[in-house]
Amino acid sequence: LETRTQRNSDVVDQARRTDARRYQQTSAAEVLFFAATAVTAVGAGLAVPIPNEASWLAAPNAAAAAFTALVMALAIRGGPYRRHVITTSLAAGGAVATVIALAMGFGPHQWLWPATAALGIILITSSAKLTVIFARITLPPVPVAGEDVNVDELLDPVIDVAAEAEQDVSGEPGREDTWKAILESVPSSSAQLVERSRLSQQLLAGFVLVGSAALAVGAVMCFQPGHFFWLSVAIAVLAATITAFRSRFYANKICAWSLLTCSAAIVIGCACKVIVWNPANAAFVTAAIVAFTALLLLGLAATRSSKMRSAVSKRMLELFDGFCVAATWPLLLWIAGVYNMLRNFIL
């Protein structure tokens, strides 16, 4: 792991030195990296021949562009400044878009958009586990009581804070020198842990961002008139509730705003589809949106401060979130036609 990290650091440093000689600034290299990613993805999409039945770009073109964005994101790895939020979003989003485009290329399927919404829920609920896996977080070597210490980093001298405080009172070394010495005595494994912590925060934001986008697209596309109308309404309401409720769990602003934007996109998208289907109900739909938004804001305001909640209320909120997530799965299976397939299955 340390060898791979050192190798990646050497590559990044070499890119920085090369770009510094050419452009005298690393920011220009970052702009070129992401501009090249966009141009390469568009070029790959246009390079695929258009199908005979299509008059414009179709699913194979979208699949080629998405897969190219995935490959470029894995190759760049955040660029010179290691912006892993963008890399994770491009990689995960490219993978999701590639699968969706390939599925659409084989014809319209009833299960496509429910599967997209389910994938979004999986990414949102499992983002923490995915972050631990991809960040490869390892704790520094901390020996237990009675164990021999074989790591040189743990044998570094420890600063005597009390003695340094007495020196501060006597007026010899200042307090800034004391804290500087303390920070210098921190083992390098702790510095690596801090770096992994920053990486994990960026990966978490990327996974939540892609999951929110997939859930919003899947919930809005599942919303359809006819036999499954009220079923799709329930899915949209549950998806909006889950994302708005889970936005209070994250201290990262990118995660919180991604989930809130997903909730708003689901409500606005479904409302626009209802207005297109029946323009006479525009006033009723607008009133329903206002009422739902008011109730949602009241619920968020009631759960704003986590310090004021008791253990019982926290447990109730966790159960409510788990119920909303669990109730979405059978509805998605229903609208995807899984129950109909099992009912008509003949051995």
Average pLDDT, the chain: 75
C-alpha of 280 from chain center: 39
The confidence score (pLDDT) of residue 106 equals 72
**Top-confidence residue, 12 or 143:** 143
**Top-confidence residue, 326 or 152:** 326
Residue showing tokens 């990044």: 12
Question: The pTM is what?
Answer: 0.72
Per-residue pLDDT tens for 228-271? 888 889 999 999 889 988 887 887 888 888 898 898 889 888 88
Complete DSSP assignment for 51-73: PTT-SS--HHHHHHHHHHHHHHH
The b/e string for 261-297 (b: 16+ C-beta within 10 A; e otherwise) is bbbbbbbebbbebbbeeeeeeeeebeeebeeeeeebe
Q: Give the range with max mean pLDDT: 75-79, 102-106, 164-168.
A: 102-106
Report the C-alpha gap between 264 and 306 in whole angstroms.
23
